[in-house]
Amino acid sequence: MKSLSTKKIGLVLSGGGVRGMAHIGVIKAMQEFGLEAQLVAGSSVGALVGALYANGTPIMDMLRFFKETPLFKYNFISIGKPGLLDTDRYESVFKTYFPHNTFERLKKELHVVATNLEKGEELFISQGELIKPLLASAALPPVFSPVSYKGSLYADGGIMNNFPLEPVRDKVDFVIGSNVSIVAELNKKNLTNSLQLTGRVTGLMIYAINREKIKKCDLVIEPKSLEHIGILDRKGIEKAYAIGYESACKQLETLGS
């Protein structure tokens, strides 16, 4: 582990809603093993966790950010925009944690990805204004409205790139990948309605698209038990965090042996 701590480490954080709290557990484990990433890339919730990490936010404050940020609030209801909730309303919440609102003021290099809905393209962002790109990367349709950024409408980065390895791979010596959009074996009793079926098919598609990139990481942490936590289930925050922490500790112990 000591030899690894001398290398330049990159950290890739996938999308996956509340399951992304496992990323915070991974970061906690890394810190306990004396490991710090110098370069971070994230998509959707991975972009948010990555930004907090790059900002030097303590672990407990990272969890507090997700616990205290109102997911459903009556005055956040979207009016005249597609999406149930108006993503722009969250800007003031984010400013509490990112008062400087710029990539350049972060303590680590950060890359986030968002999806340009008009052009059908992914966009990597690592410079300039911070909060708008973070909101865009995490704006999961149809729950959250798209975000207007530099003249175009952007939404969840995970639509086109749920595991953004690209900005990291060639810039570091060792890549740690935390993937919370996992595909565990599922019993047919969990596929009894259209919603469950849609969730399973979407999960399979996302995993298939990103599987080869995940395999290219030097260390991959993807706890299968996360699949039992709903992507919008706020009650699963602590559980997902604990699962990520325990899984990362086991992986890192193996690495050091």
Q: Is the pLDDT of residue 253 over 70?
A: yes
Q: Is the pLDDT of residue 89 over 70?
A: yes
* Residue ranges covered by each domain of the chain: 9-256
Domain 9-256 in CATH 3.40.50.970? The answer is no
Query: Which pLDDT does position 178 carry in this prediction?
Result: 97
Residue among 166, 256, 172, 151 nearest 212 (CA): 166
Q: Is the pLDDT of residue 116 over 80?
A: yes
What are phi and psi for residue 47, nearest 5 degrees?
-70, -40
Q: Which residues are catalytic?
A: 44, 156
pLDDT digits (tens, 9 = 90+) for 166-198: 999 999 999 999 999 877 666 677 667 776 676
Query: Which pLDDT does position 188 carry in this prediction?
Result: 73
pLDDT digits (tens, 9 = 90+) for 125-142: 999 999 999 999 999 888
d(CA 181, CA 175): 18
pLDDT digits (tens, 9 = 90+) for 24-60: 999 999 999 999 999 999 999 999 999 999 999 999 9
Query: Which pLDDT does position 80 carry in this prediction?
Result: 64
pLDDT bucket at 79, cuts 50 / 70 / 90: low
Average pLDDT over residues 82-99: 86
At residue 80, the 3 state secondary structure works out as: coil
What value, to the nearest 5°, has the Cα angle with vertex 139 and ends 165 and 92? 110
Average pLDDT over residues 142-166: 93
Residue 169 makes CB contacts below 8 A (sequence gap 6+) with: 10, 175, 216
d(CA 23, CA 140): 18
- Inter-residue contact 8 to 39 (CB < 8 Å): yes
Give Cα separations from 159 to 53, 132, 142, 191 (angstroms). Answer: 23, 17, 12, 23
d(CA 46, CA 50): 6
- Cα 46 off chain centre by: 1
Residue type, 92: S
Residue among 57, 43, 62, 30 nearest 179 (CA): 43
The angle that helices 59-68 and 237-256 make with each other, rounded to 10 degrees, is 150
Residue 132 makes CB contacts below 8 A (sequence gap 6+) with: 91, 147, 149
d(CA 113, CA 108): 16
